[in-house]
């Protein structure tokens, strides 16, 4: 079977759906899963509402915020000023750690402050870890920034670019750190406040999806090959789709496998990223932590690097959590590994005092994000930019957090998708 379409979109996640919302009717979306949403899907088990991972909206553009707010009942939206902590040596320190070192025990605070004043800063750094030492000094880096980011990225931090996290990294100079000792305000994070729908982040996906022609969204359809010369995409059922413009929102490492050329194969092998095993857990009763929204755990003896409390966001009466565990790109996460990590997770939650002997796990779900966080390196980024320019010349565009292979927010993805849609319709 053959089809012809002006805009062919690979992937029905937030970027693909947004793009389709801003073009005329001549589009077609192909999605390998049996539902739309990508990593922005929501899972519901009994009274528990979980996302594929923690997704909270920090709208900075009025257009997107208004579209979301105007599309749901007002009592369905929860507004929160974030409450985030670092679990450090069985105590809680406000996040970001580096601006709250005054909350540490006195001797550790002095170590951090001393190293902060005597750090050896320079204009240019060779890698992410060197940048951390240069900007924050030895103690802050080795107490939190190094172990936490090693757990998160599951990679040697010297292999990451100095700007690996872009604006999402909470930078702070000495003045800001000192000022925070008195003001005690987190002004360094991009997401101090957020909103969240009671029915989960997937409700925003539904808003985008419900405006589209469902006949133009093909589910359970996997791309098996791309012939850019003839502007043709082949699906797993043998369908051939001829396009004028091809918009990719699937992970770049997967997208490159659809081409049969040496440049794409070489770059695909070079791309680095981590995987994340996510547990969504529902318990029979609340934790002693009733105000916190999420927590960061740098301790290498604890298997997870971050946890979140859906119940404290949704104001429900049972503990509902997400747990995130980092893996390298080549690590295998099978059912045996998942079972082992779940046992360790429950043991460590108990050890940290988040649950106790009377806490019973009632429901849970397991998700593997592959890829999860992309690893930004200067040399690879140059090759990706060169590839994108070449593809653009063939009317192929790759966008979104994973399609563009970058570190960005959901809102960034929507803005980029809209901008591309507007741009292409000018031609």
Q: Enter the pTM of the model.
A: 0.94
pLDDT in tens, 137-153: 999 999 999 999 999 99
Report the distance separating Cα 326 and Cα 332, nearest Å: 12
- The residues, ordered by sequence, that sit 6+ positions from 123 with a Cβ below 8 Å of its Cβ are none
Main-chain phi, psi angles of 348, to 5 degrees? -75, -35
Structure confidence by residue, pLDDT tens digits, 368-410? 999 999 998 888 999 999 999 999 999 999 999 999 999 888 8
Radius of gyration of the chain (CA): 22
Closest among 367, 303, 288, 361 to 48, alpha carbons compared: 361
Task: Answer whether 368's CB lies under 8 Å from 333's CB.
Answer: yes
CB 218 within 8 A of CB 28: yes
- Contact yes or no for 203/197 (Cβ under 8 A): yes
Decide which of 66 and 190 is more confident.
Answer: 66
Q: State the pLDDT at residue 246.
A: 98
Residue 187 predicted with pLDDT over 70:
no
Give the span between the Cα atoms of 311 and 216, in whole angstroms.
Answer: 37
**Looking at the predicted structure, is the pLDDT value of residue 169 above 80?**
no
Q: What is the mean pLDDT of residues 166-177?
A: 74
- Whether the CA torsion 247, 223, 30, 53 is positive or negative: it is negative
Q: How confident is the model at residue 72 (pLDDT cuts 50, 70, 90)?
A: confident
Assess whether pLDDT exceeds 60 at residue 186.
no
Cβ distance 3 to 241 under 8 Å? Answer: yes
Q: CB under 8 Å to 338, separation ≥6 — which residues?
A: 277, 366
Q: DSSP state, 57?
A: B
What separation in angstroms does the CA of 308 have from each of 27, 84, 85? 37, 9, 10
Cα–Cα nearest to 20, from 201, 205, 248, 212: 212
Task: Tell me the C-alpha distance between 163 and 125, whole Å.
Answer: 10
Q: Which H or E run contains 397? A: strand 396-398
What residue segments make up the domains of the chain, in order of their start? 2-38+199-271+376-424, 99-183, 274-369
3-state secondary structure of 364: strand
Is pLDDT above 80 for 173? Answer: no
Helix and strand totals (H; E) in the chain: 14, 18
Distance CA 188, CA 385 (A): 29
Q: Is 24 helix (H, G, I), strand (E, B) or coil?
A: coil
pLDDT digits (tens, 9 = 90+) for 329-382: 999 999 999 999 999 999 999 999 999 999 999 999 999 999 999 998 888 999
Provide the phi-psi class of 357: left if phi over 0, else alpha when psi is between -120 and 50, else beta: alpha
Domain 274-369 class in CATH:
alpha beta
The two beta strands, 27-30 and 2-10, are parallel
Residue among 421, 402, 367 at smallest CA distance from 208 = 421
Choose the most confident range, by mean pLDDT, from 45-59, 177-191, 311-325: 311-325
**37: pLDDT strictly greater than 80:** yes
- pLDDT band (50, 70, 90) for residue 236: very high
Q: What is the pLDDT of residue 364?
A: 98
pLDDT on residue 189: 52
- Total residue length of the chain: 427
Highest CATH level, class, for 2-38+199-271+376-424: alpha beta
State how beta strands 84-88 and 294-296 pair. Answer: parallel
Is the pLDDT score of 167 beyond 70? no
The confidence band for 163, taking pLDDT boundaries of 50, 70 and 90, is confident
Please determine, for residue 184, whether its predicted confidence score (pLDDT) is greater than 70. no
Q: Is the predicted pLDDT of residue 190 greater than 70, yes or no?
A: no
- Tell me which of 426 and 299 has the higher pLDDT: 299
**Range with lowest mean pLDDT among 68-77, 212-221, 316-325:** 68-77
pLDDT at 49 > cutoff 80: yes
């Amino acid at each position: 079977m053959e089809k012809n379409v002006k805009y062919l979109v690979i992937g029905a996640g937030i970027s693909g759906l947004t793009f389709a919302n801003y073009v005329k009717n001549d589009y077609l979306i192909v999605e390998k899963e049996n539902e739309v949403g990508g990593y922005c899907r929501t899972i519901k088990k009994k009274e528990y509402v979980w996302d594929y991972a923690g997704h909270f909206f920090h709208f900075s553009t009025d257009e997107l915020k208004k579209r979301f707010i105007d599309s749901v009942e007002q009592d369905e939206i929860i507004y929160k000023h974030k409450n985030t902590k670092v679990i450090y040596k069985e105590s809680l320190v406000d996040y970001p750690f580096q601006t709250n070192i005054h909350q540490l025990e006195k001797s550790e605070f002095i170590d951090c402050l001393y190293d902060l004043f005597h750090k050896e800063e320079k204009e240019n750094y060779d890698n992410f870890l060197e940048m951390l030492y240069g900007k924050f000094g030895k103690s802050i880096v080795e107490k939190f920034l190094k172990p936490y980011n090693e757990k998160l990225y599951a990679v040697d931090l010297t292999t990451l670019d100095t700007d690996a996290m872009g604006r999402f990294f909470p930078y702070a100079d000495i003045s800001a750190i000192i000022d925070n000792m008195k003001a005690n305000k987190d002004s360094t994070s991009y997401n101090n406040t957020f909103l969240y729908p009671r029915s989960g982040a997937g409700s925003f996906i539904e808003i985008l999806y419900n405006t589209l022609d469902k006949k133009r969204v093909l589910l359970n359809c996997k791309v098996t090959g791309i012939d850019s010369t003839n502007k043709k995409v082949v699906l797993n059922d043998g369908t051939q789709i001829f396009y004028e413009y091809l918009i990719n929102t699937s992970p770049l490492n997967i997208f490159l496998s659809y081409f049969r050329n040496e440049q794409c194969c070489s770059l695909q092998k070079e791309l680095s990223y981590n995987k994340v095993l996510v547990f969504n857990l529902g318990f029979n009763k609340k934790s002693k932590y009733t105000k916190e929204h999420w927590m960061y755990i740098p301790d290498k003896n604890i298997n997870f690097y971050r946890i979140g409390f859906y119940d404290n966001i949704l104001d429900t009466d049972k503990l509902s959590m997400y747990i995130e565990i980092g893996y390298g790109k080549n690590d295998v996460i099978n059912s045996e590994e998942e079972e082992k990590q779940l046992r360790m997770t429950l043991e460590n939650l108990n050890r940290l005092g988040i649950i106790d002997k009377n806490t019973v796990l009632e429901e849970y779900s397991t998700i593997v994000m592959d890829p999860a966080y992309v690893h930004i390196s200067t040399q690879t980024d140059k090759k990706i930019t060169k590839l994108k320019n070449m593809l653009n010349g063939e009317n192929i565009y790759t966008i979104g957090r994973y399609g563009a292979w970058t570190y960005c927010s959901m809102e960034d993805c929507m803005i980029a998708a809209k901008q591309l849609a507007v741009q292409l319709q000018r031609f």
